[in-house]
Amino acid sequence: MSSLTRADAERRAQIIDVTAYQVELDLSRGDLPDHTTFESRSTITFTATAGASTFLDVKATEVRSIELNGTLLDLASVADGRVTLPDLAADNAVVVEATMGYSNDGQGLHRAVDPADSQAYVYGHLFLDAAPKVFACFDQPDLKAPYTIVVTAPEHWIVLGNGAATQAIPGRWELATTQPLATYFVTICAGPYASVTDEHDGIPLGIHARASLAQELSDQAPGMLRVTKDAFDHYHQLFDIRYPFGSYHQVFVPEFNAGAMENPGCVTFRDTYLFRGAATQDEILTRATTITHEMAHMWFGDLVTMDWWDDLWLNESFAEYMAHRTLTAITDSDDAWVDSTMARKAWGYAAERAPSTHPVAGSPAPDADSALQNFDGISYAKGAAVLGQLVAHLGDEAFVTGVTAYLKEHAYGNAALADFLGAMETASGRDLSSWAQAWLTTAGVDTIGAHQMGDGVRITRTRSEQAPADRPHAVDVAGWTDGEQVLHVRASLDTDEVTVPVSAGGRAALLLPNASDLTWARSALSQDSLAVLPTQLGQVGEPQHRAVVWVALTDALALAEVDPRLVVETFAQAWPVEDNPSILSRAGLLLTSRVLGEYLPDADVPAAAETSAAAARARLDSAEPGSSQALTAARVLAAATPDADLLGRWAGGTDLPEGLLGDRDFRWLVLRALAVAGAVSADELEAAAAQDSSLQGKLSALAARAALPTEADKEWAWDQLVGDHDRSNYERNALATGFWAGRHTDLVRPYVVAFHRDIPALEGRVGQDALARVASLAYPRTVVEEATAAATREALASGDLSPAVRRALVDQQSVLREVLASRAAFGG
């Protein structure tokens, strides 16, 4: 089906203004086995230029009737997801009755059956352009309108949505009329959900999950509600605007494509955020950050919505920045900013290195499909960092004043970049045109370096070669020697070089540019600093400084500036004494997934795995039993160790670290490691799956089975991934994740050709959002050969790729080329 173009959206917005939606959904058979459709009736009132015509969006299994102003339209006019509405009056009403299809790819109205109890659940994920799969509508972000929704469902189900839901009679739920919403914010969640309810400051609160997760929900809801309540208090105080959407539900739904979605009044989250077993502090922090991120969207995105997708940053950059700022304020801890550095900025810098990099704001989005490709580390992490620079540039008081004015002026409507900059200029009295050009509308990342010389520190700015811009940076430099911070200077870097005097305090062994991660820039460590990194990093007393070093190493590794063996050596000495949860987790993932998985040549992997496992064992032995640090160390040890005997004992429940007995997710991690090593059979994995009948158990079993290193198992896994087996989005992702695991190049090399043939062919069977994920996960990156890159180049040259697949291939080929360059530079 055609993707909505910006030109078509602008023309339609000039003709019509939507005044209200009334939507009736009949999900009454949704609990029946293998039920695939539901009934939808939409009544839309709108004003229009008299005599004009426009189009309505509807992507139905069957359209039964379309009535415009009392006249039935010819159903033959429905084509390619659109129907023409001719000869409009000044005031209009269109009624569409249709049969819609449930999805299994996470878009539209997704239906999933929980294998733990065979109960069915549905949820609406209408982002980015999936609303017409649920109800007929004018599907673009600037045609906001209030919604009144009625849902018929099985009597044992509950129904949740954007408006407060009331069960009028058994099985019939009426939702309160909403404030004006964009179509992509509308949701319905229905099923036998378990619930925990509360109230805060006059706001009804609810947290919901599948019935099979009722105990986990009960145990973890108090912590999530505490974050929710504290965040509401902080946002109310900061913005001076109360939460505008009535009740506030947070629903943990199965097989969700994203981390969460900011539907007003009914936020949906992936239900893996409800932890089945032991959880690290890093994981709990990530969940809290997601909660505060989605709540920030109630103001940035929901109350004020972008005109079009090229101003996506007005949603995501703000929510990203506000989430970390808010969590820091309500916890009185900097852990959120450390986590931002390790998890989010590393993601953003990777996006900046990719050929698909783009400006924070104003990135071309000629249609909805192309806009989807810009939901990446630039729009989230870089945009948040840029807002931090704006605060430094204007001062916090002017920033908050400008934000509040912007939100109040455009409440319940739409806005664009110019509107935001205008509010900021009024609040600060400063012209922001050059600042915006440098930071918002020009792509690229600068590099910050530092050199100690005499009584000063010379700080340098090297501009991006691809997109040079004169970006001012609020930046700092720290110096450490044997655990003592011997210098710390701050500077406003608005030229390519500045020297900052320092008091006498000795020469720093380890000099860290942008040590406090104040700006968006690569931190270039000098050769002298790199040489002492293994011995010095573990002695650095500031977690934020250590996080910056790890991200700098990640960047330098990708740019073939650092030998991956140095990363292993640094990990071996610094990781066993690390205590920050985010650094432990993310550095461990870097080592096990990227360095051992891709960067090191095959000959170096066994020794590096032994070294890494020894570091993980040392951290496990030094950690308090059952602690977050111990759990992270056990996970890294399971992923790194070549000791199949140890893994076998753990899989059987013997000699497990404290707190992990009966932890099903940890057992699957161990079983997958055994599968990669060929030390477990398909029958043994099937037996393990029978012991864990949960949705997560089913997915873990698929990933482990796909990792088995035999021709028969690879053939089975590939057929399940790309064949017509009605696999869900999560099942495809699990299969793709396991398929390429391990160093089995000769075995999987034939599937390089299969990938470039079969994955693009999924278009039409899988939505663009889900297709982008499976194409990225299924890319043959572990076949580190020029032939892999050449196959991708040939596929890209064909021109016959969807935007989702094209973006995935461009970015994954770029990562593959980074690994190839590293091996060429450092052997292998």
Q: Which among 216, 262, 283, 294 is annotated as catalytic?
A: 294
In CATH, the architecture of 305-439 is Orthogonal Bundle (1.10)
Instruction: Kindly state the DSSP code that residue 539 receives in the 8-state scheme.
Output: G
> HSE on the CB side for 781, CA within 13 Å?
27
CA 738/CA 675 separation, integer angstroms: 9
Q: What is the pLDDT of residue 465?
A: 83
Compute the Cα dihedral for 483, 486, 492, 495 and give only its sign: negative
Q: Which amino acid is at 629?
A: Q
DSSP 170-186: TTEEEEPPPSPB-GGG-
CA 576/CA 571 separation, integer angstroms: 8
Q: Which residues contact 629 (CB under 8 A, 6 or more apart)?
A: 579, 581, 584, 619, 623
Q: Which residues contact 540 (CB under 8 A, 6 or more apart)?
A: 480, 483, 510, 546, 549
Please state the rounded mean pLDDT for residues 224-238.
98
What percentage of the chain has pLDDT greater than the value 70?
A: 100
Q: Which amino acid is at 653?
A: G
Rounded to the nearest integer, the mean pLDDT of the chain is 96
Q: Which residues contact 439 (CB under 8 A, 6 or more apart)?
A: 360, 386, 389, 390, 469, 471
Q: What is the pLDDT of residue 1?
A: 60
807 phi/psi in degrees, rounded to 5: -60, -40
Q: Which residues contact 592 (CB under 8 A, 6 or more apart)?
A: 612, 636, 639, 640
Q: Report the DSSP pairing between strands 305-306 and 414-415.
A: parallel
CA 725/CA 711 separation, integer angstroms: 20
pLDDT one-digit tens code per residue, 571-615:
999 999 999 999 999 999 999 999 999 999 999 999 999 999 999
Q: Name the H helices within 590-728.
A: 605-622, 628-640, 644-651, 664-676, 682-691, 695-707, 711-722
Q: Which residues contact 743 (CB under 8 A, 6 or more apart)?
A: 602, 605, 782
Compute the Cα dihedral for 669, 673, 678, 680 and give only its sign: negative
pLDDT one-digit tens code per residue, 689-711:
999 999 999 999 999 999 999 99
CA 196/CA 218 separation, integer angstroms: 7
pTM of the model: 0.97
Q: What is the pLDDT of residue 373?
A: 79
- Of 743, 591, 732, the residue nearest 678 (C-alpha): 743
CA 137/CA 82 separation, integer angstroms: 10
What SS3 class is residue 489?
strand
Do residues 473 and 521 make contact, with C-beta atoms less than 8 angstroms apart?
A: yes
763 phi/psi in degrees, rounded to 5: -60, 135
Q: Which residues contact 182 (CB under 8 A, 6 or more apart)?
A: 140, 141, 142, 143, 144, 305
- Residue 421, both tokens: 């900059």
Please state the rounded mean pLDDT for residues 455-470.
90
pLDDT one-digit tens code per residue, 673-686:
999 999 999 999 99
Please state the rounded mean pLDDT for residues 385-409.
97
Q: Which amino acid is at 543?
A: P
Give me the residue spans of the domains in the chain.
6-283, 305-439, 709-828
Q: Is 624 a catalytic residue?
A: no
Superfamily for domain range 6-283: tricorn interacting facor f3 domain (2.60.40.1730)
Q: What is the pLDDT of residue 175?
A: 98
Cα→Cα distances 728→724, 774, 777, 794, Å:
11, 11, 15, 29
Widest Cα–Cα separation across the chain? 86
Q: Which residues contact 86 (CB under 8 A, 6 or more apart)?
A: 53, 68
Q: What is the pLDDT of residue 505?
A: 67
